[in-house]
């Protein structure tokens, strides 16, 4: 992790951004009188496919939507809405 003062950052911004974009550095800390005040990190574009979490990460995960929708009536009854 590299770091620089505000003045150094202003003078070397292009070089700092180049090291972040080519993967040489993962983050860059900007300091104000040796006190860290900000971190610059590379922009990571969101992928077009949604990220799956938990058990959804594996292959073959499928939701029975009919059973899922059937729970709506049961939940409404629990809250006295039916």
pLDDT tens digits, one per residue of 51-72: 666 666 666 667 777 877 777 8
Alpha-carbon span 60 to 47, nearest angstrom = 21
Asked if residues 3 and 28 have their Cβ atoms less than 8 Å apart, the reply is yes
User: pLDDT higher for 8 or 82?
Assistant: 8
Residue 16: CB atoms within 10 A of its CB come to 19
**Closest C-alpha to 12, from 30, 24, 38, 36:** 30
Query: Rounded to 5 degrees, what are φ and ψ at 22?
Result: -90, 0
Residues 27-55 have pLDDT tens digits of 999 999 999 999 999 988 776 776 666 66
Phi and psi at residue 37, in whole multiples of 5°?
-125, -20
Domain ranges of the chain: 2-44+54-78
In this prediction, residue 76 has a pLDDT band, given cuts at 50, 70 and 90, of confident
């Amino acid at each position: 992790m590299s770091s620089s003062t505000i003045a150094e950052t202003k003078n070397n911004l292009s070089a700092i951004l180049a090291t972040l974009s080519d993967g040489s550095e993962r983050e860059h800390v900007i300091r104000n009188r040796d006190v860290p005040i900000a971190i610059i990190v590379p922009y990571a574009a969101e992928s077009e496919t949604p990220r799956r979490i938990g058990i959804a990460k594996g292959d073959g995960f499928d939701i029975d939507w009919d059973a899922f929708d059937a729970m709506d009536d049961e939940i409404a009854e629990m809250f006295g809405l039916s």
